[in-house]
Amino acid sequence: MAAEESEDAELMAQIARGDDNAFRRLIERHQLAVFGTAVKMLQDRFVAEEITQKAFLRVYWAAKRYRPTAKFRTWLFTILRRLVLNELRRRSSADAFVPAGDDPWEGTPSASARSPADSLIDKERLELVERALASLPPNQRLAVVLKSYDDLSYEEIARVLGLSLSATRALLFRARESLRKSLSSLKDIR
């Protein structure tokens, strides 16, 4: 992990000197994680693409001021957090779900090899999970996404959220409890 951190810091130094190829490499390294987190938070692929672009533009603009005092990835997700929360405030609606036909699991080999009944059950479960996740307050949702999907440590999540380690653990506990209650109906589906 230290090699990745060192490489990110070096790429940022090169970007600060005007190296556009370094910026391209940095985007390639982190684009999927940033976009994936944005999609999970916003439930809208188009808006997630815009937010991802904005996050990387902010990285580019801040390259000359960047100091590797924390992991680059933590810093990047902090930028993403601010952009996502601003977007959620702008929307002021919690009913934004992935549009029908925009299912990321559609067409995957495992989905197509299953029976139609199993695929329907899987789709229903995924929709329940997405709804439960979308119903969480933004900070809880982001903490869950960063821990479960992006595999950030509690310390990294605390830095991204601007919370203490104990507050982050409590936040994740409350989020998991809320999800557990919301998803208790999953055991009823087959």
Express each pLDDT in 162-178 by its tens digit: 999 999 999 999 998 88
User: For residue 97, what pLDDT is reported?
Assistant: 43
Contact (Cβ atoms closer than 8 angstroms) between residue 44 and residue 38: no
Q: With 90 as the cut, is the pLDDT of residue 180 above it? A: no
104 half-sphere exposure, CB direction, 13 A CA radius: 12
Domains of the chain, first to last: 2-188 (1.10.10.10)
Backbone angles phi, psi at 163, to 5 degrees: -120, 165
User: For residue 179, what pLDDT is reported?
Assistant: 86
What confidence tens digit (pLDDT) does each residue in 49-98 have? 999 999 999 999 999 999 888 889 999 999 999 999 888 888 764 344 43
Model confidence at 181, pLDDT cuts 50, 70, 90, reads confident
What is 43-90 written as a DSSP string? S-HHHHHHHHHHHHHHHHHTTTT---SS-HHHHHHHHHHHHHHHHHHH
What confidence tens digit (pLDDT) does each residue in 7-44 have? 999 999 999 999 999 999 999 999 999 999 999 999 88
How many other C-beta atoms are found inside a 10 Å radius of the C-beta of residue 44? 19
What confidence tens digit (pLDDT) does each residue in 139-149 have? 898 898 888 87
User: For residue 117, what pLDDT is reported?
Assistant: 66
What confidence tens digit (pLDDT) does each residue in 117-138 have? 666 666 677 677 778 888 889 8
pTM of the entire predicted model: 0.65
User: For residue 106, what pLDDT is reported?
Assistant: 41
